Amino acid sequence: MADESKKWVLMVTAQTPTNIAVIKYWGKRDESLILAVNDSISVTLDPEHLCTTTTVAVSPSFDQDRMWLNGKEFPLSGGRYQRCLKELRSRASDVEVEKKGIKITKKDWENLHVHIASYNNFPTAAGLASSAAGFACLVFSLAKLMNVKEDPGKLSAIARQGSGSACRSLYGGFVKWVMGKNDNGSDSIAVQLADEKHWDDLVIVIAVVSSRQKETSSTTGMRDSIETSVLLQHRAKEVVPKRIVQMEEAIKNLDFPSFARLTCADSNQFHAVCLDTSPPIFYMNDTSHRIISCVEKWNRSEGSPQVAYTFDAGPNAVLVAKNRKAAALLLQRLLFLFPPQSDADLSSYVLGDKSILQDAGVKDMKDVEALSPPPEIKNNNPLQKYKGDISYFICTRPGRGPVLLSDESQALLNSETGFPK
């Protein structure tokens, strides 16, 4: 190993996207290896709007593995972190940086400690899948630091052991997590179905729903479902295999009506499984149900789907619009039904790609107040609005997979000390 007295620090920074499942993963056949009972398919979301940035560092001066999440120290003692670290260490290779006089051999990695700092560019409290981007970024960045010579598929199998949905964040675009058959999980990996440019008409609007309720974690929820839901067994054996084939076809053919039908049906069935669990799990709330009803009515009145909805283990809606025009019309409807609190300004209510607001003809709060009711719900009298029931919207699109950030100003750890900046 290099001269200990030099106390060098070697760092890597990476950025990894989050993803939203359109065919859901719910239920494990192996809890510790995180092996799913069915395949799942997701869309990777544009990291410009939702992503995790992680810096990992190694130095002979570190006396233990440590991690900081959004600036606060976070214990790395959990089994899932330990498993990912162990898998990566066992695959590490020699690293040599002549300029800095650093030479690390494959064997050195067993004794060297790492520092990890991670930051989400979206509020963690929003209940958006942060563990997917988080574990994917941890695995991707450590693999680079440790010179792990594995393809993204193999890395996805490591990220999977941190959090199931994380394996799908190793790729951009449209991704399938193949459940696999092997007991050791070696064939339970993510594969890319199509990259983010394949279907770039799609626009994604996330409605972050106000909620005070503490939700059941996905891990606990799916454990209860596996133990008690008969519907889950039927879904995994009979329903999902057919849907996976149909969804792959729909994505390949840019067939939005099929994509939307399958996405909505699968979200609804996942929530039906939650209700079929004992005790029942309620992830959606009244606001979620109102959003579903708004989309269903509009889609029906148009004669073909304009927007698909999907909900994970929480009340937030992820809405996939077939194109920019549909996204603008969707935003008009949602802003009409769910105006922000009176003191909120529009720029902090609609985040992400704000150009959709322009398309919707909404520049400021006055425009929001002047919106007319969607024609398909005009007959509802009196027409109710639900002010403040949505915290904010994020407009985004399908996005790319993980990337390395070479600019040191983007690193979260100090390059001299290896501690958070």
| Contact positions vs ligand DP6 (CB under 6 A) | 21, 24-26, 34, 40, 129, 131, 163-165, 218-219, 312-313
Query: What end-to-end distance do the CA atoms of the chain give, in Å?
Result: 27
- Nearer to ligand DP6 among residue 306 and residue 310 (C-beta): 310
Q: What is the identity of the amino acid at 61?
A: S
Choose between 310 and 391: whose C-beta lies nearer to ligand DP6: 310
Nearest residue by C-beta to ligand DP6? 164
Q: Measured from the CB of residue 296, what is the shortest distance to ligand DP6 in angstroms?
A: 21
Query: Considering beta carbons, is residue 40 or 44 the nearer one to ligand DP6?
Result: 40
The least distance separating ligand DP6 from the CB of residue 401, rounded to whole angstroms, comes to: 16
Q: Which residue has the tokens 């909805």?
A: 309
Report the nearest approach of ligand DP6 to the CB of residue 28 (Å): 7
Helix (H, G, I), strand (E, B) or coil at 15: strand
Q: Which two tokens stand for residue 85?
A: 């670290």
Closer residue to ligand DP6 (CB): 34 or 45: 34
In the complex, the smallest distance separating the C-beta of residue 31 from ligand DP6, rounded to whole angstroms, is: 8
Residue carrying structure tokens 């394949």: 198
| Cα angle 140, 316, 127; round to 5 | 45
Nearer to ligand DP6, 135 or 199 (CB): 135
Give whichever of 128 and 395 is closer to ligand DP6, judged by the CB atom: 128
Tokens 């650093």, residue? 102
- Closer residue to ligand DP6, CB minimum distance, 52 or 131: 131
Give least dist CB 76 to ligand DP6, A. 16
Q: How far is the CB of 219 from ligand DP6 (least distance, A)?
A: 4
Q: Cβ of residue 409: shortest distance to ligand DP6, in angstroms?
A: 32
* Maximal CA-CA distance, the chain: 78
Distance of CA 237 to the CA centre of its chain: 25
Residues forming a β-bridge with 208: 392
Compute CA distances 33 → 49, 225, 241, whole Å.
31, 18, 22
Closest CB 314 distance from ligand DP6, rounded Å = 9
Q: Write b or e for each residue in 154-174: b if 16 or more Cβ atoms lie within 10 A of its Cβ, otherwise e.
A: bbbbbbbbbbbbbbbbbbbbb
State the minimum distance, in angstroms, from the CB of residue 42 to ligand DP6. 6
Cβ atoms within 10 Å of 63's Cβ, excluding its own: 7
Please say which residue, 219 or 414, places its beta carbon nearer to ligand DP6.
219
CB of 135 to ligand DP6, least distance (A): 8
Write the CB contacts of 42 (distance below 8 Å, at least 6 apart in sequence): 19, 20, 21, 22, 165, 168, 174, 175, 177
SS3 content of the chain, % helix, strand, coil (to 5): 40, 20, 40
CB of 98 to ligand DP6, least distance (A): 40
Residue nearer to ligand DP6 on the CB measure, 40 or 391:
40
Burial-class residue 106 by CB neighbours within 10 Å (0-12, 13-18, 19+).
middle
CB 38 within 8 A of CB 27: yes
Indicate the residue among 148 and 313 with the shorter CB distance to ligand DP6: 313
Whether 82 and 32 have beta carbons less than 8 Å apart is answered as no
Residue 177 or 349 with smaller CB distance to ligand DP6: 177
Give 274-305 as a DSSP string. HHTSSS------HHHHHHHHHHHHHHHHHSS-
**Contact indicator for 145, 58 with CB cutoff of 8 Å:** yes
* Alpha-carbon span 314 to 218, nearest angstrom: 9
